[in-house]
Amino acid sequence: MITEVRDIEKSRNKLRNDRDNKNQNVKELFSKAKEAREKRDAINEDVKLNKALRDLRKEDADKAFGELEKIEDSMKEKGISPKDFGKRVKLSKQIRDLEMKIQTTGNLKPQEERELIERIEKLSLKLDEVEVADEVRDALRKNRKTLRQLRGEALSHHKEVQKLAIISQNHHDEMIASIKEARTIRGEADSHHQEIIKISKEITNLRKEINRISAEADRIRKELGQETAAERKKRKAEEAAKEEEELETKAEDVLERYQSGEKLGFEEFKLLISRGLLTDND
């Protein structure tokens, strides 16, 4: 039964080691899951920021697009064609040429001069319209440039959101996997623990039975006039103490003889060395 108890204790100790190792593994996995969660949450904050910036740029782009539509409608109302670029230079040259003609032609008749002046006035009105059209077209170009820029920024933030979302999901998956593995291992550790409790009860019951049998054996030995296990243990301890005392006395006697110059045998030297009474200097 004692041998059986010792074998069972070995099994229990092995289970304890396995349980403790698994619990340590669980601790490390939960720590890993916590780290992954913190990384995920930090990235999610960046995702929120980029989403907000993306939506803001989209809103600005929608406003810019609305302004663009207003400008294009205004151009249509005024009959301004996108193909009318360069008219300002042409009209300005025509006006200068007519003005120069009036100034340099000395024999102009009043009717001819009036006609030239009327042409200059008409061209000037057209020039004013063209200048207005050019201003509108400049506004149109600027608005289109702003719209492209805003849409580009919105797209850039959207791409960043997608990239960060993938990284966040990876950290989330890592966290879930670590937690799942930790729970599985913790279940195994708990199972080991329950088995340890069961084995410990079994060992306790066996030891009780061993103690009962030992007590019964001692009772029988006493009835038979034999030495009990406790008495035998006590006797051996007393014999060992007596033997130790005798060896100490003998060693002291041998040391005195050695110090007085008497020659010692090999066994006597061994005795002094084993008792620590001789050093290398001796």
- 25, amino acid identity: N
Average pLDDT over residues 237-253: 86
**Average predicted confidence (pLDDT) for the chain:** 82
- Please give the span between the terminal C-alpha atoms of the chain, in angstroms, as a whole number: 53
Question: Using an 8 Å Cβ cutoff, are 78 and 132 in contact?
Answer: yes
> Could you identify the residue written with the tokens 């000037």?
124
Q: Which CATH class is domain 23-185?
A: mainly alpha
Taking 60 as the threshold, does the pLDDT of residue 263 lie above it?
yes
Taking 90 as the threshold, does the pLDDT of residue 21 lie above it?
yes
Alpha-carbon gap, residue 97 to 165, rounded angstroms: 67
Taking 60 as the threshold, does the pLDDT of residue 210 lie above it?
yes
- 139, amino acid identity: A
Alpha-carbon gap, residue 27 to 22, rounded angstroms: 9
Highest mean pLDDT among 125-134, 190-199, 231-240: 190-199
- Domain ranges for the chain, please list them: 23-185, 234-274
